[in-house]
Structure 1
Amino acid sequence: VKYLTLYAFSTENWSRPESEVNYIMNLPVNFLKTFLPELIEKNVKVETIGFTDKLPKSTIEAINNAKEKTANNTGLKLIFAINYGGRAELVHSIKNMFDELHQQGLNSDIIEETYINNHLMTKDYP
């Protein structure tokens, strides 16, 4: 296994009760506090997909710290899907593609599978 994705929090989960959201947001913080040394030791690289800029500061800091400390690791890629949703990713990607085409004066003829894939958060993963 070269890639492992943990679906930590969906974009749809923001509608849950605030106490539940807060609890879920602390899970990555606690997990990384406990297991980061082992992840480093086992050559695991921590990565994320999702809209992490909308997360609580403590969650962002824990994730960024783990990504920084494992950046040069070459083993398993542990991908946290946090504040991620497939539909949200599609909307985000389509808007980015539209803006790019508009700014470059291009039309939709350029759009093909590779072009779309290059605009997805999952572009680096099989």
Structure 2
Amino acid sequence: MIQDVDLPKKASRRVFSEEKRREIVAEYDAAATPAERAAVLRRHGIYTSSVSNWRKHIAASVPRAPRGRRPDPDATETRRLHDQIARLERKLAKSERTVAALGKAHALLQMLAEQDAEPQASSRES
């Protein structure tokens, strides 16, 4: 009743070397008609989006980003907190300078007000 059926193995993602990608892009660009370009895509089993992406990487001469570990979330959070502390310390220093300047301005205004009040008091006494 049950027949042994050979099931296809799970398909694996194909990976093209940088050199092969350049060859395919060059072949695609050399094709004169849309039909020839479609034949290149079918022959290699790829889509136009792949060619477009490869062309951008080649033009920018940017190597593909390596697939590596993701950044450590604790390190990222630590860096963010250090940046926030530095920003708040700069803001605090600015506020302290402002308060010091306001204090000096207040003291100066008080001195001027006292000096103005003294001549008026002496003129009233006479």
- Of structures 1 and 2, the one scoring higher in RCO (CA 8 A, sep 6+) is 1
TM-score (norm 1): 0.24
Which structure: larger Rg? Answer: 2
Give the structure with the higher percent strand: 1
After TM superposition, the score normalised by the length of structure 2 is 0.24
